[in-house]
Amino acid sequence: MKIVLVGDLIIESGWCIEELKNIAKTYNSEYEAIDWETENVEGLRVKNLKIEKQGPAAVEPPNKLWDLVKTAEILIVHFCPVSAKLIDAAPRLRVIGTLRTGLSNIDVNYAAKKKIPVINLPGRLAEAVSDFTIGLIFSLVRGIVQSNDALRQGRWTKNFESNENFIELSGKTVGLIGLGGIGKKVAHKLANFDVKVVSYDPFVPQETMESLGITKMELPDLLSSSDIVSIHTSLTDSSKGLIGSAQLSLMKPRSYLINTARAEVIDKNALYDALKKGAIAGAALDVFWEEPIVVNDPFLKLENVVVTPHISGTLKEALLKSFSRLNKRLEPYYERLSTKGADGMS
């Protein structure tokens, strides 16, 4: 059995070497570990955006990978693209593993056609993103960021434009749009804050929500009843532009909106207008319609907005756990391939 792993600037192959050695020893296998090299993280981000928009064939993988996959039975990647062409170059390939939740960098349809399973990590950063979400809630509703900025600018002040909208969390309603791995973690972590948690997610049954102590609602009802709305849905055709002018108009004037998911779920102009006019109390944004955000972006001039540079899931501790978690999901393939060989996997 031969394993090929491709890391990058976010999850470096070197982080995985010790575990690869253990796998090789346990299953009497071979391995190769390389990196999909880019000059910097910004270069990697640009490549990833191109892949998301145009598919995995839009960007070339490392040149060395073409030779390595010729004998690979297991291919493990993070952001490295796996196109139909690369799959065809790997005649012995029996499984593809990705250290991500998303599958945009892998031609999953072609892999399915070739009967090659693709194993991913749903909710791999759920702990990190849910922690960050809780942090944004408190930063936003108590003016922590504004106070920090004021002191650093030499201003000892307790008066801000948004002072009258600062709130205690106890007794409030938090609405979660999307109740996947991250949304559930946020709900769980809010359980001891004496809040009511409601959620809009058409794919999660009411019985499931009730078992978690969450009230299922339709989107308009959630928006009109929540003091804090936090977005945790993936970006799909149905979720793009989900929150526009009509939806924002349903929210309470003293309510807050948090987005650690995808910027395109919200209509940018509609949100800016709502914040500028005070139609809602404030927003915390970790994702933007153009990244990196430009210095003259109007959102940066709003005092009632907390902004962070898409870092809710960028936590080394969480990323380091990705390979261990994926290995657990790949164990059945390790066992079958090591005992039967590549031809034993149909």
Look at the block and give the residue holding tokens 């070197």.
14
Q: Please check whether residues 186 and 73 belong to one and the same domain.
A: no
Residue 46 parent element (H or E): helix 41-54
CA distances from 304 to 128, 175, 186 (A): 24, 20, 23
Nearest to 231 by CA among 318, 137, 122: 137
pLDDT at 315: 74
From first to last of the 346 residues of the chain, give the pLDDT tens digit: 999 999 999 899 999 999 999 999 999 999 999 999 888 888 898 898 899 889 999 999 999 999 999 999 999 999 999 999 999 999 999 999 999 988 999 999 999 999 999 999 987 888 999 999 999 999 999 989 988 888 899 989 877 766 778 889 999 999 999 999 999 999 999 999 999 999 999 999 999 999 999 999 999 999 999 999 999 998 888 999 999 999 999 999 999 999 999 999 999 999 999 999 999 999 999 999 998 899 999 999 998 999 999 999 877 777 888 898 899 999 999 999 987 654 544 4
Q: Please check whether residues 131 and 245 belong to one and the same domain.
A: yes
How far, in Å, CA of 34 to CA of 94, rounded?
Answer: 20
Return the amino acid letter for 300.
L
Cβ neighbours, 10 Å, residue 125: 23
Q: Please check whether residues 192 and 240 belong to one and the same domain.
A: yes
Q: Please check whether residues 113 and 175 belong to one and the same domain.
A: no
Q: Please check whether residues 223 and 175 belong to one and the same domain.
A: yes
Q: Please check whether residues 101 and 131 belong to one and the same domain.
A: no
Return the amino acid letter for 226.
S
Helix (H, G, I), strand (E, B) or coil at 47: helix
Q: Quick one: angle between helices 126-141 and 144-152, nearest 10?
A: 70
CATH number at 50 reads 3.40.50.720
pLDDT at 339: 79
Geometric angle at alpha carbon 171, from 166 and 177, rounded to 5°: 80
Find the domain containing 175 and state its range: 126-307
Q: Which residues are catalytic?
A: 262, 291, 310
Q: Please check whether residues 99 and 65 belong to one and the same domain.
A: yes
Q: Please check whether residues 92 and 8 belong to one and the same domain.
A: yes
Residues 127, 259, 160, 193, Cα dihedral to 10°: -40
The answer to whether the peptide bond before residue 61 is cis (omega within 30 degrees of 0) is no
Q: Please check whether residues 112 and 134 belong to one and the same domain.
A: no
Q: Please check whether residues 91 and 230 belong to one and the same domain.
A: no
Our count of domains for the chain comes to 2
How far, in Å, CA of 231 to CA of 146, rounded?
Answer: 23
Q: Please check whether residues 236 and 110 belong to one and the same domain.
A: no
What is the pTM (predicted TM-score) of this model? 0.80
CA distances from 77 to 69, 112, 120 (A): 12, 17, 10
Q: Please check whether residues 111 and 147 belong to one and the same domain.
A: no
